[in-house]
Structure 1
Amino acid sequence: MNAPLPAQSLANHAQDVIAELDDKVRWLSAWTIHNANHLRESRDGLKVGGHQASSASMATIMSALYFSVLQPEDRVAVKPHASPVFHAIQYLYGRQSLDQLQRFRSLGGAQSYPSRTKDKDDVDFSTGSVGLGVAMTAFASITQDYMIAHGALAPEKAGRMISLLGDAELDEGNIYECVIEGAKHDLRNCWWIVDYNRQSLDATTWDSMFLRFADIFQAVGWDVITLKYGRKLQAAFARKGGAELERWIDESPNDLYAALSFQGGAAWRARLMADIGDRPGVKALLASYDDDALAGLMTNLAGHDLGLLLDTFHAVKDERPKFFIVYTIKGFGLPFQGHKDNHSGLMTVAQMETFQKRNRVPEGREWDKFAGLPREAAEYEAFLAAAPFAGRKTERPEAPRIAVPGLAEFPRPSGKQSTQVAFGKILNDLARAGGELADAIVTTSPDVTVSTNLGGFVNQRGLFAREGRRDQFKDSNIASPQKWIMGPKGQHIELGIAENNLFLLLAALGLSGDLFGRRVMPVGTLYDPFINRGLDALNYACYQDARFLLVATPSGLTLAPEGGAHQSIHTPLIGMAQDKLSYFEPAYVDELSAIMRWAFGHMQDADGGSVYLRLSTRALEQPARELDEAQLVEGAYWEVEPAAGADLAVVYAGAVAPEAREAFELMLEDVPGAGLLAVPSPDRLHRGWTAGMGGTGSHVERLLSRLAPHAALVTVIDGPPATLSWLGGVLGHKVRALGLERFGQSGDVPDLYRAYRLDAEAILDAAAAALA
């Protein structure tokens, strides 16, 4: 019986195995890209791409993490351009198929950038729009803390939220908005690991930026850990002449270092001898390495030193956020390493043949998991099966469904009021009544909590913070309607004025079921025009299929005195165009109540999504009626049904309901039998129509079929006329579309509606023109 190996020997053995797997990861990622560009049939002649250089610079960092460091609870946002590395690692674990790799960047294959919804292997966070996946991990950590504080996640199940990012991503402004917010919320369990290869798509990056990054992140409470030199270089620095060599590298411009990395050992020797060869010990130090060894030494940066990475990552024991600046060479180990044009470069067929021989991969076995490695396949399989990451379940958790109150129990405020005010009352009533839905709701807003009518809910449910904080105004007996208790059980997460942060937090909260096994119901509010400021992050949240209720208010020209900067023009078209987001613009409270009730269910449906409400500050008298809620959520209903074969219908959405009704009633004498069509969701109505174009019919076709074939439609909305003008294409009716096509200005509603042709007179004029 063999004596057990000492711990150090076991550690050395594990490191050796990981190093061999790292070689395989680098090979598979490069081969996957090569296959897509050079071997797979190309029917359109377009370059497929795949970023071999960006993958190579990140490979060892990811190997260290996935083969040793990551625990099952950890979640990772992978650098977009390192997607092939991620897929290669998953393939070695048996969590990605050969077919997917062979179809990389083709329909149904592994995606160009990691995607939660499109990839078959388990992607934690979609990446691709640079910088957003980075910030997402911070908000996922805040979400994790919220889940722990509310008893939805055991503290021992807390994972690290890790972002792997390229240094060029640090140019993205949303990252710095995020770290400021993280400082407010006592961010923890978050690692950002920077692939500091000092090259972007266009060029080599500015020198000494690592100093600025370190300053910024230290200032907001992060531990900054800079890993620059591998252990071979550290050993060389300890020899005579080594201090001069270290000083030369430290002072070397990024572009010079990159160029020499591309040129190789002879070029390194010539330049070093010319610059510092006359200094004590340098000549002898350089002479102790042949050209290949010197090239290996000078490119021995920390990001390619597996042992250093493993020791560094495993040494972290505390929860403080960590910012790792890890020096790498872009394209490390590939023939174009360091070249300034290598970002989208591809190895030629001849270069790949050489690379294949260097990796000892037999021809015809390019896709074999362990071909060319020195051990038996069974040993690698056993090692991977025992790795901590292998303990992660392959299926995402299925969060229990949250019950939504029935129609009779769901709040429906009465009396003259705006949809914005009614929204706040509905949430406040839910909070007061309590129950499963109320307990699951978490609200958030970028410093507009009060002005978007969330104040009542926060008074009921409090602000979230990991530690309780006293309200000095309350303690000092200073009167305020905002009685906001701050502590771990609070259900509102307050944000600063940064819409990107709002959408990224909604994305993280909206993935709580998949990430942590328990669902929350996120509700986020902001001013409608400022959706534009966070639009990339909103698209990112929807692309991941995060589920949330977005309440944008106040909207449109109807926000009269605030002027053009605060009056949204085109947001309805955003709502209609955005996938996985259903846009509604209710005019009345009964519509709003039914939509919100539907939304809380839709956010949980397997084929559901998020919901966007465009609300108004305009107070309207509320009609006494019973709505057909099925028609409502399909997008439209006849407020006044037309006579069969009618010649005209007035169609409206949102706050212009009184003008539409007034014009409609005035025209009835001249056009008896006309109809008044309410469209609370142009989006749902349009999607139903396009989905039914195969001949199955649609809700809008059934509605409009009551009109004569030659009938006219006059559409009106406090938004782009294109929101409703498409209705003419359904059955070929003539359309006169009213709406906003110019920036607004300050005024009152009557003046602005008259100036921008949204009033009853404009509707009547449009009807007369349509019938002429």
Structure 2
Amino acid sequence: MTGQQRQPVDDQTVNYLTLLDKRVRWLSAWMVHHANHLRPARDKVKVGGHQASSASLASVLTTLYFDILRPEDRVAVKPHASPVFHAIQYLLGQQDVEQLKRFRALGGAQSYPSRTKDQDDVDFSTGSVGLGVAITSFASMVQDYLLAKSWLSEEQTGRMIALMGDAELDEGNIYEAMLEGAKYGLRNTWWIIDYNRQSLDAVTPLGMSRRYEAMFEATDWTVHTLKFGKKLEAAFAKPGGAALRDWIENCPNDLYSALTYKGAKAWRERLLADLGDGSDVAALLAGYDDEALEDLMLNLAGHDLALLQETFQGITDDRPHCFIIYTIKGYGLPFKGHKDNHAGLMNPAQMAEFRALNGIADGEEWDRFAGLDEETVTALQAFLDEVPFKACGLRRHQAARLDVPAAFPCPSGAEQATQVAFGKILNDLGRTDSALADHIVTTSPDVTTSTNLGGWVNQRGLFNRESREDVFKREAVVSPQRWAGTKNGQHLELGIAENNLFLALGALGLSHSLFGTRLLPVGTLYDPFINRGLDALNYACYQDARFMLVATPSGLTLAPEGGAHQSIHTPLIGMAQPNLRSYEPAFVDELSHIMRFGFSHMQAEDGGSVYLRLSTRPIAQPERVTDAQWQQDVVDGGYWLVEPAPGADLAIVYQGAVAPEALAAFEAIREDVPGAGLLAVTSLDVLHQEWSAEIRAQRAGGHVPKSHIRRLLGRLSPDAGLVTVMDGAPAGLSWLGAVCGHRVAPLGVDRFGQSGDVTDLYRTYGLDEDAILDAAASILLAR
């Protein structure tokens, strides 16, 4: 072990922890057993629940929640230890027994801890492998950001703690987060590794723990490797103990696991065979009967409550700490150590034996203190009542909403690109003296200037806990960018790792709940690279984090960069992703109003995050005076740029940067198709959501107001045709035909692009004026 200060063991606390550890292990196993063997299985599908993975981490979680954690600490629990977490919350009085009985069923305790779906005290949702670990480092950065702004006091700061299985260390996003943390100077973060050395399919090779130590130390973590419990350490001090220790240190993990499963006789036979029956080791082993020998060989650090308590209590600094804690997968269960135990379940006979070992009578399986005498129950309840972690009950904060002005700046200019306009709008906000501007925090994965955040950063500055000089300015090197960092700055500079961007946005977007101060995060990246961080984006949305994602440039409009930088299906991602409302405005006045709405939506109780798909393509801006109805239509997803005559036979529908081509085609066809309409879609996502809600309401049989898209398309003839066009997958708008039964000719990009200019690419991929006219002709001829 390195870098820790041992604290004296509190024997009474360890006695209580021992009782609670046994109860937690029982409840977590019973919860899974009940779900799989006792609850009616109507669809005959295995429920699952990871009894073995829960058992390996039970003692660590018991020590943390009942002794170490304080209300200010925030925890991401290993996904497969969800039953242990729910059992602990139940013992703390923060989980309902009916929830446990419905584990993995509708309305019950969730398979993996969930901020939005569990009723107990979940800080970070986990389940998407490795992401729950990595977000804790960004939550620590957010805490430091708030501390630097004096929106949080030192007394209110806590440790950001992640518990993970060792198999999660195969996930690359963990190491991306570690590198970002090293650049930032990460603090107040604990990562605790359940080093049981078994995954679903394999056993970890010998020596991996040393590689993990090296990687953590290389990124400035203090590493604590906890391998042996106190009983083993005591045995090592006896004659023959050094040889026993060497044998264990060099024993392959798969052999150790196999002997663990086989039990005491196998341990004795193998040790004597390898070390000799006439050695000091033989004499040492002779001092242990079979039960005691098995207990000794399974006495790894992760199951030694006294060792865990004194280790965690001994951490007094704010450095990031990594704990590699050796455990037995399935500890205390009949299939402990077996290579197939990851998804294994105790059968009824095994559970009956396990119940007897725990002193649980029939019918008392869910009792919090079954099998304990009254005096012990009274003392244990008094201990639980004083557990620091539950001192303030559920630790969710509320934060006041920030006022959003009735109108946002709208940059002027005959020709503009939405990306450039976004930067101008944000820059203009940065010049204001408002709480809204003060609580905006921007971040970007090394594309700050190329996504037009440079003006905002010049206004509001880079954030850095320690002042960082702009060396280029000091050296009189001319640059339009002021790149000095101070604690007053409002831009977090990230390396080029999109997973880190979305994890940072997730942590920033939970600040109001985690820390009690509302932040309004704005993150920018190139639209095609949403795919590189999509798992982390989904994870942030699943937790209901609130942020504004600005993805630009998009589609074929990033023309010279070629197919590798051109996005095709991101509009479908925006359409399908829950808790993320996506927009793709064509014009600057639309963008201005959508941004104003977005900052309100991010704060609304029933709101969410916002995704803006923007373009670098300059297009002519309409000269118009807008009203409240137009503004509402823009937010609701679309409006008639040119209204059709009642019963019209044709409409051209476009979204985003293809507006000039749609408008040119419309002007060319107006004389031949009198009364045709031109529909501007600002959000296919919002239109589709409301239409889907209308359909669900119809099925329910209640009063059904018409959806916005049905009202818009209702002006057309029932047998009218629609030509839809967008710089993205044509499926994004092709569903419009299902709204009122119109025939659709969908145009879009359905294959990888290539380098060129927008004119050539739109012609090549069928998005130009001629392609729209051809589609209109074909759909009219088919009538």
**Cα shift at 1:150:** 1.2
One of 636, 639, 650 as aligned partner of 2:638: 636
The 5 A counterparts of 1:208-607 are 208-278=207-277, 280-374=279-373, 375-394=375-394, 396-407=396-407, 410-607=409-606
Amino acid at match of 2:138: F
Structure-1 separation of matches of 2:514 and 2:8: 36
Asked if 1:762 is matched to 2:764, the reply is no
Q: Matched residues, percent identical?
A: 65
Using a 3 Å threshold, how does the CA distance of structure 1 residues 21 and 678 change in structure 2: closer, same or farther?
A: same
For residues 106-125 of structure 1, the aligned pairs below 5 Å read: 106-125=105-124
Q: Residue 667 of structure 2 aligns to which amino acid in structure 1? A: E
Aligned to 1:732: 741
| Equivalent residue for 2:660, pick from 658, 661, 666 | 658
Write the distance in 2 (CA, Å) between the matches of 1:495 and 1:39: 50
Rounded Cα–Cα distance in structure 2 between residues aligned with 1:653 and 1:285: 78
Q: Which moved more, 1:616-625 or 1:447-456?
A: 616-625
d(CA) in 1 for partners of 2:414 and 2:82?
55
* 1:161 corresponds to: 160
The aligned residue for residue 175 of structure 1 is: 174
Q: CA deviation at 1:395?
A: 5.3
1:216 positional shift: 0.5
- Mapped contact 1:20–1:373 kept (Cα < 8 A): no
Q: State whether residues 236 and 242 of structure 2, in contact with CA within 8 Å, keep that contact through their aligned partners in structure 1.
A: yes
Task: Tell me the distance in 1 between the aligned counterparts of 2:482 and 2:410.
Answer: 23
Q: Normalization by structure 2: what TM-score?
A: 0.97
- Tell me which residue corresponds to 1:3: none
1:459 touches 1:485 (CA, 8 Å); kept in 2?
no
Residue identity opposite 1:17 in structure 2 = Y
- SS of residue matched to 2:325: strand
Question: In the TM superposition, what is the alpha-carbon distance from 1:769 to its structure 2 partner?
Answer: 0.1
CA distance in 2: counterparts of 1:107 and 1:131, whole angstroms: 26
C-alpha separation in 2, matches of 1:390 and 1:612: 37
Q: 2:732 aligns with which of 723, 747, 756?
A: 723
Cα distance in structure 2, aligned partners of 1:151 and 1:342: 49
Would you say the 8 A contact 1:411–1:429 is kept in 2?
no
Quote how far apart the aligned CAs of 1:747 are: 0.5
Tell me if structure 1 keeps the 8 A contact 2:8–2:310. no
Q: Secondary structure at the match of 1:194?
A: strand
The Cα shift of 1:9 comes to 11
Task: Report if aligned partners of 2:410, 2:588 keep a CA contact under 8 Å in 1.
Answer: no
Flag structure 1 segments of 5+ consecutive residues without an equivalent.
Answer: 1-7
Give 2:701's aligned residue. Answer: none
Equivalent pairs counted in the alignment come to 764
1:415 Cα deviation from its structure 2 partner: 3.6
Matched to 1:50, the amino acid is: G
Residue 698 of structure 1: aligned partner: 707
| Cα offsets for 1:511-554 (capped at 9, x unmatched) | 00000001000000000000000000000000000000000000
Quote the offset at 1:11 in angstroms. Answer: 2.0
Distance 2:762 2:67 in 1: 65
1:667-723 CA-partner distances (Å, limit 9, x unpaired): 001000000000010000110111111242200000001000010000000000010
708-717 vs 365-374, greater mean Cα deviation: 365-374
Deviation at 1:392, TM superposition (A): 3.3
Equivalent in the alignment of 1:674: 676
Match of 1:49 in 2: 48
Change (3 A) 1:150 1:576: same
2:759 to 743, 750, 758: 750
CA–CA distance in 1 between the matches of 2:9 and 2:656? 68
Task: Provide the secondary structure at the position in 1 that maps to 2:85.
Answer: helix
Q: Is the 8 A contact 2:9 2:306 kept in 1?
A: no
> How far is the alpha carbon of 1:362 from its aligned partner?
1.2
Amino acid at match of 2:733: L
8 Å CA contact 1:586, 1:653 repeated in 2: yes
Cα distance in 1 for residues equivalent to 2:173 and 2:392:
31
Which ranges in structure 2 are unaligned for 5 or more consecutive residues?
1-6, 699-703
Moved over 6 A (4+): none
Letter in 1 for 2:648: A
In structure 1, distance between residues paired with 2:410 and 2:340: 61
CA contact (8 A) 2:9 2:309 kept: no
Partner of 1:5: none
SS in 2 for 1:433: coil
1:130 paired with 2:129, answer: yes
Cα displacement (A) at 1:632: 0.7
User: CA offset at residue 278 of structure 1?
Assistant: 4.4
1:381 CA displacement:
1.5
- Alignment partner, residue 101 of structure 1: 100
Q: Write the distance in 1 (CA, Å) between the matches of 2:432 and 2:16.
A: 58
Measured after TM superposition, the shift of residue 625 of structure 1 is: 1.3
Residue 556 of structure 2 aligns to a residue whose secondary structure is coil
Q: Of 690, 700, 710, which aligns to 2:719?
A: 710
Alpha carbons of structure 1 residues 472 and 297: separation in structure 2 relative to 1, 3 Å: same
Q: Which moved more, 1:375-384 or 1:208-217?
A: 375-384
Corresponding residue SS for 2:620: coil
Deviations 1:445-504 (A, max 9, x none): 000000000000000111111110111111111111001220111100010010000000
Once the two structures are TM-superposed, the CA of residue 617 in structure 1 deviates from its matched residue by: 0.3
Query: 2 CA distance for matches of 1:202 and 1:732?
Result: 50
CA contact (8 A) 1:113 1:126 kept: yes
CA contact (8 A) 2:410 2:589 kept: no
Shift of 1:346: 0.3
Distance of 2:432 and 2:15 partners within structure 1: 61
Aligned to 1:686: 688
Kept in 2: contact 1:73–1:392 (CA 8 A): no
Q: Distance in 1 between matches of 2:716 and 2:469?
A: 63
- Aligned partner of residue 649 in structure 2, secondary structure: strand
**Do residues 625 (structure 1) and 624 (structure 2) align?**
yes
Amino acid at match of 2:390: A
